[in-house]
Amino acid sequence: MKHNSISLGIVTALAALAASISPGHAQASQPGWVTAAACTPAGPLIPTNTTESCGSDVLQPILSGLVTTDAKTGAIIEDIAESITTTDNKTWTIKLRKGRKFHDGSEVLAKNFVDAWNWAAYGPNGQSNNDWFSVVIGYGDLNPKAPKGEKPPAPATNRMSGLKVVGDHEFQVELKNPVPVFRAQLSYKAFYPMPDSFFADPAAFGRKPIGAGPFQLISGTPDSGYKLAAFTGYTGPAKPSIKGIDLKIYTSREAAYNDLVAGNLDLLRDIPASKLVADLWKRDLRGRTVVQPRANIQALGMPFTDANPQLLKPMVRQALSMAIDRKAIVDILFNGIGQPATGWVPPGVEGYQPGACGEYCSFNPAKAKDLLSKAGGYKGEIKLYYAGDSEVKSAMDAVCNSIQGTLSITCVTSALSDNATFRSFTRSGKADGPFPSNWTMDYPSIDNALIPLYSKDGTSNRGAYENAAFDALMDKAAKEDSAAAIKTYQEAERLLTAEMPRVPLWNPAMTVGHSPKVRSVTLYANGRIDYSALSLKD
């Protein structure tokens, strides 16, 4: 009998289990809503601490800043700001439109910007977008330098002296150095306003962010997805025609693609590479596809240490660059999606000039061989490092083959186990070969593709590149008005051909597939969908 009672127990447990597997909550999407594929945000949804793309995808429709980019023309236009003015590129007066509201109903005031910037710049808050504010006077007080080998001391203040609230709808920013393109920088999400409730409980905000954008986060979690409804109180320039966005979380783009083909999904960005082969996706989706350039450049980073003295010679780098058949790689490997890079600034960005790299980024085997022999040849092999968990392997193999085929230098690719290992290695100065180095524009202006990467104090100058003439042009541009500054930045970009600190490879394009319900899709320069411009068939 004892045994029977145990087996009875097992049966009961199984029955309870069967009951716990709840029946499907299959939901037909509501009229006016679109279902879009998303991925799990890595961390709390705080704009000043979100630098990865999954979280940024969720935040984009929710937030509004002082300025925004027009998805159609790429121009920077005023959003919450009524005007942004300066006479010397150092003191900026910002006036706000009246009546713009956060999703909690409170009005967006000057203090919401000033408080948000101070909070993000405050060192102990450890925000990953902290250094965006380093140009503001008083940033140093909030981020005291640590004595060698010790922890940084606590800051004496939590307000930057360069920020002044003038009135409810006006504030003033004083910068340490002139920044001609400060207005364009303001389109980056680090500069967005935060409602008063954020400062009381940042963790709650991270779960359910409150912005001033066209869409309002209604509900959701990082694992189950988010529901964003059009914000009825929105009075800005990007009023949406759809009623809401249902962001569904996918762990793989292949799974999302299958859902799109089966009709369970309306929008999928970045179609998996396996579906681009021979235009499979265009047949699967019956032409409901969009390809648009995006503000991104993929390049080969070069070591700037004596780990490999041969690669320090400019002529060797130029020869390598001219030995790469970019067009063939884009056409064959990427099925023609994207374009060979002709400079260091991606297209669609203010200040973009086609052909900045000139002949040095075109495929010219004869000249490449000639340059290499002038440089005294190359001994040994070239090792091309990449992160083994990224998708660049086939592209790097193709680059290597191209170099080897043209210059008869043995070129091998070497996979480092993962991204963290790869990043540590390439910035350690021990790398003795080139490595893939991508740059996604934070805001669509030429300076963002140059200053962080090639200036002496550039925040992401991983190769430790230094060029006095280039830095002099950066200083010159700083004192000019924005139109003249952009010309100076362009001149500086052309200067990079002499030393090739990075070898431009290609500018990838964004691919989007959509359901029959969607009439038209517009993308921002950063490749994200402009949900405000999205229109549906009735």
Partner 1 sequence: MTGYILRRLLQFIPVFLGTTFVVFFLAWGMPGDPLAGKCGDRECPDAFVAAATEEFKLDRPLIVRYGYYLADLGRGDLGRSFTGRDVSEQLVAAFPATVRLALLAVLIEVLLGITIGVFAALRPGKAFDTTTMMVGLGIIAFPSFVIANLAQLVFGVRLGWFPVTVNDPTSFAELLLPAIVLALAHQVTLSRLTRSAVIETMQSDYIRTARAKGLGEARIVIVHALRNSLIPAVTYIGKDIGGLLAGAVVVEGVFNISGVGGLIVQSIRSHDGITIVGAVTVVVVAYLFINLLVDLSYAVLDPRIRYD
Q: Taking CB under 8 A as the criterion, which residues in 98-137 touch partner 1?
A: 123-131
Q: How far is the CB of 160 from partner 1 (least distance, A)?
A: 13
353-412 binders of partner 1 (CB under 8 A): 389
Instruction: Count CB-CB contacts under 10 A for residue 385.
Output: 22
Residue closest to 270 by CA, chosen among 523, 34, 517: 523
Is residue 419 within the footprint of partner 1 (CB under 8 A)?
yes
Is residue 6 within the footprint of partner 1 (CB under 8 A)?
yes
Q: Which residue do the tokens 């064959």 mark?
A: 332
Q: How far is the CB of 198 from partner 1 (least distance, A)?
A: 15
Indicate if the alpha-carbon torsion angle 500, 497, 293, 186 is positive or negative.
positive
Cα–Cα distances in Å, from 182 out to 47, 66, 132, 190? 19, 11, 11, 13
CA separation for the pair 333, 327 (Å, rounded): 10
Q: How far is the CB of 200 from partner 1 (least distance, A)?
A: 18
Residue closest to 83 by CA, chosen among 99, 67, 72, 71: 67
Which phi and psi angles does 177 have, rounded to 5°? -120, 155
- H helices, E strands: number in the chain: 18, 21
Q: How far is the CB of 130 from partner 1 (least distance, A)?
A: 4
Among 261, 273, 291, 375, the residue binding partner 1 under the rule CB under 8 A is 261
Whichever of 53 and 289 has its CB closer to partner 1, that residue is 53
Is residue 193 within the footprint of partner 1 (CB under 8 A)?
no
Give me the residues paired with residue 529 across strands. Answer: 523
Whichever of 204 and 332 has its CB closer to partner 1, that residue is 204
Whichever of 76 and 121 has its CB closer to partner 1, that residue is 121
Among 425, 476, 479, 536, the residue binding partner 1 under the rule CB under 8 A is 425
Q: How far is the CB of 451 from partner 1 (least distance, A)?
A: 12
Is residue 455 within the footprint of partner 1 (CB under 8 A)?
no
211-250 binders of partner 1 (CB under 8 A): 221-225, 248-250
Counting residues that bind partner 1 (by CB under 8 A) gives 72
Among 421, 471, 494, 495, the residue binding partner 1 under the rule CB under 8 A is 421
Instruction: Count CB-CB contacts under 10 A for residue 438.
Output: 13
Give the amino acid at 268: L
130-189 binders of partner 1 (CB under 8 A): 130-131, 143, 146, 151-152
| Structure token pair of residue 388 | 């083994």
Whichever of 231 and 506 has its CB closer to partner 1, that residue is 506
Among 417, 464, 469, 472, the residue binding partner 1 under the rule CB under 8 A is 417
Is residue 289 within the footprint of partner 1 (CB under 8 A)?
no
Q: How far is the CB of 290 from partner 1 (least distance, A)?
A: 21
Q: How far is the CB of 293 from partner 1 (least distance, A)?
A: 17
Whichever of 223 and 538 has its CB closer to partner 1, that residue is 223
19-78 binders of partner 1 (CB under 8 A): 20-26, 40, 42-44, 49, 51-53
Task: Output the 3-class SS for 345-407.
Answer: CCCCCECCCCCCCHHHHCCCHHHHHHHHHHCCCCCCCEEEEEECCCCCHHHHHHHHHHHHHHH
Whichever of 86 and 445 has its CB closer to partner 1, that residue is 445
- What contacts 398, CB < 8 A, 6 or more positions away? 329, 332, 333
- Dihedral angle computed from the Cα positions of residues 202, 203, 206 and 211, in that order, rounded to the nearest 10 degrees: -30
Q: How far is the CB of 48 from partner 1 (least distance, A)?
A: 10
Q: How far is the CB of 221 from partner 1 (least distance, A)?
A: 7
Q: Which stretch binds partner 1 (CB under 8 A): 420-428, 472-480, 507-515, 519-527?
A: 420-428
CA separation for the pair 211, 203 (Å, rounded): 15
Among 90, 95, 462, 502, the residue binding partner 1 under the rule CB under 8 A is 462
| Structure token pair of residue 327 | 């067009």
Whichever of 222 and 340 has its CB closer to partner 1, that residue is 222
Q: How far is the CB of 356 from partner 1 (least distance, A)?
A: 20
Task: Output the 3-class SS for 171-183.
Answer: EEEEECCCCCCHH
Whichever of 96 and 387 has its CB closer to partner 1, that residue is 387
CA separation for the pair 517, 536 (Å, rounded): 6
Among 422, 470, 489, 506, the residue binding partner 1 under the rule CB under 8 A is 422
Whichever of 90 and 248 has its CB closer to partner 1, that residue is 248
435-454 binders of partner 1 (CB under 8 A): 438-440, 442, 452
- What contacts 182, CB < 8 A, 6 or more positions away? 84, 86, 89, 92, 135, 173, 175
Q: How far is the CB of 121 from partner 1 (least distance, A)?
A: 8
Give the containing element (helix H, strand E) for 321: helix 314-322
**Longest distance between any two alpha carbons in the chain, whole Å:** 94
Whichever of 130 and 488 has its CB closer to partner 1, that residue is 130
Among 3, 286, 379, 537, the residue binding partner 1 under the rule CB under 8 A is 3
